[in-house]
A and B are shown apart, each in its own frame.
Chain A
């Protein structure tokens, strides 16, 4: 019984939150990795793209709610999400046309594109701040819980409860759907295959008649969809604040690089790896160990290895270790 209680506690406070967070990171890292694979630069504006897409979706949600349209038990934001994705896609296409296209045609060095993406980051951050403000915005409506602690206890008779928030369940379900669709697209459709060919060898792809502009356009649309979805899910799960999205850049990049940058599978594995490491290391595990260890060995302290503020350190250390010992990442990524 003690073992089960410990397991339930661990699931409630570590495994479920880390899985939801990992799914959000993975979706974000997929966007970064796609830009890297096709456009061949590290996109520092990705966090702020997420923020902008989420901001647009929040405004649309507010309009829907004002007209009395809701999704019942589900958050209304899911209804606004497709429109938010479309708007973000258009913004990214315009950005590419105004900004990135010039450097692509010049065949500028990747580091120049990174600096250009810093400029885009500033602009997107500014737009988010001007139009959506800098305050915390909660926009999750509908049912809060799928299962509450009390229901779970009544159901199982255990001491510890397990709560699953609606937003966590939605995150996981959406992430699975989006990832499946993405892999189906990349592996089965003609456009997806042409993207992979373009990523593997640009010259050969051009030679076989693949239209590079089309590949780039499709990439930005996919990136817009992934970024907005990741941002909205993160915002539903926690809250929306312009600044926190910028801070997601580090764990997302860590996830993409750890998995092998340019490799979509790696981005997903990396996202979950970073999330589980972060949550496990910064959560006080005292109660779990008290359940699992014999009484004589029960810990006195909180067994919180690092305080929550140091969560960046976790993704950073994993990143550095991988870069030093396996620079191409866990799955073989690209290295240009």
Chain B
């Protein structure tokens, strides 16, 4: 079977599954799967760059996705002027102090040695920490006191009216910014952790992701923490506006559709178009990178680091580079997802869903193959939703022989949506065992 045929068949399978969901169940669900599937495909593309191309074992995907989500809030939400007046400057000042202290620590580390270095660093560190906290805490308190029920944070940079709805473009601008935020974090992480052995890098990135989530949950002045930010502006029209628009209602009625249903489908289709556009651009870039001299160099480094080093390749710099690019793509996808959700809920970020599921997508699709990752992302996302949606029905059928008042049966039926973890693990293990290079292997 040729590669093109294989790719075509795989793409056909994914399309058939989604169309099948639309025909047999409902089209809203099918389009929801498409939208999140497209976002998952972008994440998988990012992880594939890091793992498939460069062999970097990054299990901190969740952190970068969450940073993208933060960017969606910081860019597309309207600012809260009262909060800025109350403590905005102070918090920014505190952050500047923090940055200065860290820069000072680095300078001390570089310029001194021996006992002087230890003493100077400890003193500077402690003094700096308490100075930072004293300025920072007061500013944070002032911000969080501003109307805590609905704001209590600084808000974003969207000056398009009270709700930010007048500037819907800010929602799209937030996506690349999410990528940049993730790239910045990846630079800091890569500088410290990339030299580590692969499984140590895995533990380190796992930790970083948890810390990023802890920051999102805890720093209320930034994104309201666990109180969540809701009502993020979107780049597409609102369903209610469409239903109130006589032109739209007339057009869809002519087509024989119910206006309410048509409005929900139309909004989702617009999202699909936007996401697909980003995905196609990224896929083209990723393909170009893969087949360029740069891509060959990356694979050479992956396959034999020592030999690549001997050829004069700067392995450390290349690793850092690809780590940043891959993480930025995950951040971009994370910002898209938060915009699509319309809210940022830090408690919803769970490693199994946002890190390891993406890994399943890449490995099942075929690590090292961009099309494989993208289609793997869509396929695994479909499976994830399908098991959650149809699992309970299946479990009722499978437990039909048990008596209805059995507590065990009730427990199994209630937990049926949790079967998705079981299914994902089984799929991953089966692929690793019988087709370790994935459905579409690297050429």
Contacts and interface: CB of A to CB of B under 8 A. Distances in A.
A127 interface: yes
B7 interface: no
A319 B412 contact: no
B203 A126 contact: no
B421 A42 contact: no
Given A116-B432, A129-B415, A254-B203, A312 B57 contact: no
Q: Which of A111, A112, A114, A118 has the most CB of B within 10 A?
A: A118
Nearest to B351: A246
B211 A312 contact: yes
Interface stretch (B17-25, B143-151, B257-265, B355-363): B355-363
Given A118-B359, A250-B203, A310-B214, A126 B420 contact: yes
Given A42-B199, A129-B415, A257-B200, A122 B214 contact: no
Nearest to A108: B436
A310 B218 contact: yes
B416 A319 contact: no
A307 B137 CA distance: 12
Given A118-B359, A313-B211, A313-B214, A126 B202 contact: no
B204 A319 contact: yes
A112 B55 CA distance: 11
Interface in A126-148: 126-127, 129-131, 133-134
Contacts of B217: 309
A75 B129 CA distance: 44
Contacts of B416: 130
A99 interface: yes
Interface residues of A, number: 49
A312 B426 contact: no
A133 B414 contact: yes
B207 A312 contact: yes
A61 interface: no
A315 interface: yes
Identify whether the interface residues of B are mostly helix, strand, loop, or mixed. helix
Contacts of B436: 112
B147 to A, nearest CB: 23
A112 B367 CA distance: 12
Contact of B433 (A44, A102, A249): A102
Contacts of B350: 243
B193 interface: yes
Given A99-B429, A257-B200, A126 B218 contact: no
A129 B207 contact: no
Contacts of A320: 192-193, 204
Interface of B: 57, 129, 137, 192-193, 196-200, 202-204, 206-208, 210-211, 214, 217-218, 350-352, 356, 359-360, 363, 411-412, 414-416, 418-426, 428-429, 432-433, 436
11 contacts: A41-B199, A42-B199, A102-B433, A112-B436, A122-B360, A126-B422, A126-B423, A129-B421, A130-B422, A253-B206, A315-B207
Interface of A: 41-42, 44, 99, 102, 110-112, 114-116, 118-127, 129-131, 133-134, 243, 246-247, 249-250, 253-254, 257, 301, 305, 307, 309-310, 312-313, 315-316, 319-320, 323-324, 327, 335
Given A42-B202, A99-B429, 16 more contacts: A42-B203, A44-B202, A110-B199, A111-B199, A122-B360, A122-B424, A125-B425, A126-B419, A126-B421, A126-B425, A133-B411, A253-B206, A312-B214, A316-B204, A316-B210, A319-B207
